[in-house]
Structure formats: structure tokens, C-alpha cells
């Protein structure tokens, strides 16, 4: 277990700045998620922590020691690749034992440890199989078992669930998180899936174009996104953004509700909402349409829990409300979060 510190880290591949001035401290035992779209530099950052890629500039410390010049094997890390990278020519047993053999552990100790890890991940019955005889979920467990068996200081995972089907993924997410709590090892988890990030991370680092956009707890990111990129990357559907003068106003779909169910709101504002399409998704209802009371006429989404029985039809305009306290404000030029501005709400009389 160790603190990982990253200072002014850069990585350039030719013209591309894959990682651009990243500063980050990962606390002991923390589950930190790197979240960003494909190509945002997550893998590059993780690989630099692992020692598989040399930084162009900056410093990485693990447990207080600068590791820039250390090869992967000297960093006391374990990594799970997106492909799981199981050794195809070895049995599951030998795959898990492989890291232990590198440190010259004796046979009996190896066996004890491998069997313990295999039991922990429910793959004891697979120990004599070859990787190609395993399903995707089983491979993922073998990769995890191999990663923990050496009791690393830092655990690095690159999209470990992206090769599983949706059903298995939800289950694996839960197991992985529980398991990390149990052993309490510092973990860096890379994903492009915001649901995974929000659900698993103690803190989430949102990246784009190699730069850190925001670091914070899932709640903090959700409540107060640092810029429009973070605002539109999180949530499904993401935050609605409406332009007004040289400022952008943001509100979450689930904070934009029909008038009448706004009892909990402290300072509700009323905005007319022209509904064009209704989507029923069981636990919730998505309403697509336009607002034009605030700023310009803009396409937005409202997410109403199915508890609200109110009948709403496409093609009509309703009075909706949002809480002033739930609004976010961004600068139109930079996209960065700014202090609240005065809203001009025109009660669109003609609609």
C-alpha cells in the first residue's frame, strides 16, 4: 500500500500530447478512477505509473520514492490489461504463480498463495485449464487473481470490465469494488464508462486531450462540474446546457421537473418546456423538447421518475421548474465554471 504522487507529468508521442501537465495524488488505499473519452490519455498515464512508458517530463513517486527510472518489476505494482494478457501457453495455475516465481518463492508457499487467490476469485476448479478454455468472465478473474497474488503496493486496472457483457459487468463491478475495500490496496482504475466511474470511484479524475479536467468525488463532479466538458461527459442523459448572453446555464435532466412536484425546491423558477418526444424506460421517463424562456431556444431533456404519474404528451408545452440552487453556470468562451449570474426568464407568452 502506498501513496502515488504525480507531478507535472507529460507524455508526447511525436506531435500528440497524450498526457499534458497532470498533477495528482492518489491516497493510500484509495480507489481512484481515471475517466475520459477514448484517446484522452488514460492508458498512457497508467502505463507511465506502471513503468511501461517513459514520461517526456515530470515525476512519479510511489510510496515517496521517485520511480521514473525504475523498471516495472521494481515498482511493486500489479496491472490488469484490457485484454487481460493471460499467458496463453500456461495453465491458470501457472499464470497466477508466474509473478511469485519471479521473486524466487518456494514451491509450497507458491501453492498456498495461488490456491488462496483462486478461492478468493472462485476459479479454484479452473486451475488446470489453459486460458483459451475459459470464458471472458473467467479470464478476467484469473487476471485479477494473478494481479493480487503478489500483494502489490499499487493496483492498476485498464478498462478491465470492457470485454464483459453488460450483465456480467454490473456484477463484476460490485465484486471488484468489494474486493478492493477488503484488501485496501491503492487502486487506479481506467474507464471510459461514466457509470462505472461514478459507481466505483472514491474520487474520479476526468481527463480530456491529455489534461485533467476535474478531480473530485463522484458527488462533487456531479453537483458542480468544473467545465462544460465534465458537465456533458457525466450522467445519462448528461446535463442540459442553455446559452444566455455570454454565459452557459446548466441543469441536470432530473432537476428539471413538471410544475407541481417541486415541493422540495427552495427557489424554483418556472420555465416553459415544449415537449416533442416521450420515452418510457420503466423506472423513469425521458422527455425531449425545447426550452426558450431562458436564453435561446435549446433542445433539452427532462428525466422524471416513474413515481410521477402526471400525464405528459408530445407536442404540447408545459410549465416546468428548476431550482436556482441546482443550476451551474459556465463561461461561454472558455467553458469553465463561473459564479452564478442573474437569470433572465422571459415568460414566453406566445407559446
Ligand X SMILES: Nc1ncnc2c1ncn2[C@@H]1O[C@H](COP(=O)(O)OP(=O)(O)O)[C@@H](O)[C@H]1O
* Chain residues in the site for ligand X (CB under 6 A): 13, 16, 18, 36, 38-44
Q: Which is nearer to other proteins, 87 or 334 (CB)?
A: 87
Residue selected from 18, 86, 206, 242 as contacting other proteins according to rule CB under 8 A: 86
Contacts of 333 (CB under 8 A, 6+ apart): 246
CB of 204 to ligand X, least distance (A): 14
CB of 207 to Mg ion, least distance (A): 11
Beta strand segments in the chain, E: 4-13, 16-26, 31-35, 57-62, 65-66, 77-80, 154-158, 186-191, 203-208, 211-216, 240-244, 247-251, 257-258, 268-280, 284-291, 298-305, 317-323, 328-331
DSSP string, 335-351: -BB-------B---TT-
Angle at 332 between CA 329 and CA 335, to 5 degrees: 70
Q: Which residue has the cell 475517466?
A: 35
Residue selected from 87, 133, 316, 325 as contacting other proteins according to rule CB under 8 A: 87
- Tell me if 64 contacts other proteins by CB under 8 A: no
For the window 291-320, what string marks contact with other proteins as x by the rule CB under 8 A? ------------------------------
- Tell me if 113 contacts other proteins by CB under 8 A: no
For the window 121-160, what string marks contact with other proteins as x by the rule CB under 8 A? -------------------------x---x----------
- Tell me if 83 contacts other proteins by CB under 8 A: yes
Q: What is the distance between the alpha carbons of residues 139 and 149, in angstroms, rounded to a whole number?
A: 15
CB of 281 to other proteins, least distance (A): 37
CB of 71 to other proteins, least distance (A): 7
Residue selected from 1, 3, 12, 52 as contacting other proteins according to rule CB under 8 A: 52
From other proteins, ligand X, Mg ion, none, interface partner of 39 (C-beta below 5 to 8 A by class): ligand X
Q: Which chain residues interact with other proteins by CB under 8 A? A: 50-52, 71-73, 77-79, 81, 83, 85-89, 98-99, 102-103, 146, 150
Amino acid at each position: 500500500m502506498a501513496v502515488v504522487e504525480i507531478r507535472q507529468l507529460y507524455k508526447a508521442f511525436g506531435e500528440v500530447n497524450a498526457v499534458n501537465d497532470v498533477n495528482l495524488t492518489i491516497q493510500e488505499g484509495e480507489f481512484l478512477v481515471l475517466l475520459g473519452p477514448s484517446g484522452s490519455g488514460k492508458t498512457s498515464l497508467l502505463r507511465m505509473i506502471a513503468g511501461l512508458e517513459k514520461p517526456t517530463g515530470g515525476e512519479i513517486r510511489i510510496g515517496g520514492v521517485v520511480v521514473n527510472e525504475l523498471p516495472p518489476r521494481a515498482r511493486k505494482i500489479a496491472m490488469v490489461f484490457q485484454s487481460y494478457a493471460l499467458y496463453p501457453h500456461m495453465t491458470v495455475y501457472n499464470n497466477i504463480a508466474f509473478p511469485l516465481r519471479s521473486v524466487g518463492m518456494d514451491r509450497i508457499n507458491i501453492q498456498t498463495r495461488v490456491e488462496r487467490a483462486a478461492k478468493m476469485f472462485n476459479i479454484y476448479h479452473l486451475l488446470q485449464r489453459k486460458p483459451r478454455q475459459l470464458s471472458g468472465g473467467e479470464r478476467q478473474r484469473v487476471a485479477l487473481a494473478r494481479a493480487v497474488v503478489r500483494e502489490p503496493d499499487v493496483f492498476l486496472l485498464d478498462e478491465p470490465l470492457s470485454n464483459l457483457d453488460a450483465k456480467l459487468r454490473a456484477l463484476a463491478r460490485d465484486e471488484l469494488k468489494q474486493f478492493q475495500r477488503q484488501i485496501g490496496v491503492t487502486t487506479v482504475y481506467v474507464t471510459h464508462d461514466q457509470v462505472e466511474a461514478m459507481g466505483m470511484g472514491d474520487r474520479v479524475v476526468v481527463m480530456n486531450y491529455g489534461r485533467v479536467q476535474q478531480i473530485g468525488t463522484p458527488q462533487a463532479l456531479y453537483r458542480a462540474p468544473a467545465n462544460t466538458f465534465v458537465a456533458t461527459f457525466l450522467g445519462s442523459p448528461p446535463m442540459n446546457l442553455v446559452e444566455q448572453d455570454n454565459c452557459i446555464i446548466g441543469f441536470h435532466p432530473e432537476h428539471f421537473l413538471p410544475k407541481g412536484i417541486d415541493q422540495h425546491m427552495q427557489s424554483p423558477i418556472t420555465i416553459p418546456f415544449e415537449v416533442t418526444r416521450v420515452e418510457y424506460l420503466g423506472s423513469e421517463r425521458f422527455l425531449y423538447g425545447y426550452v426558450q424562456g431562458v436564453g435561446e431556444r435549446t433542445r433539452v431533456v427532462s428525466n422524471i421518475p416513474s413515481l410521477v404519474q402526471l400525464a405528459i404528451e408530445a407536442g404540447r408545452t408545459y410549465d416546468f421548474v428548476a431550482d436556482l440552487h441546482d443550476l451551474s453556470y459556465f463561461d461561454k468562451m472558455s467553458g469553465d465554471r463561473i459564479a452564478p449570474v442573474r437569470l433572465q426568464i422571459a415568460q414566453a407568452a406566445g407559446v
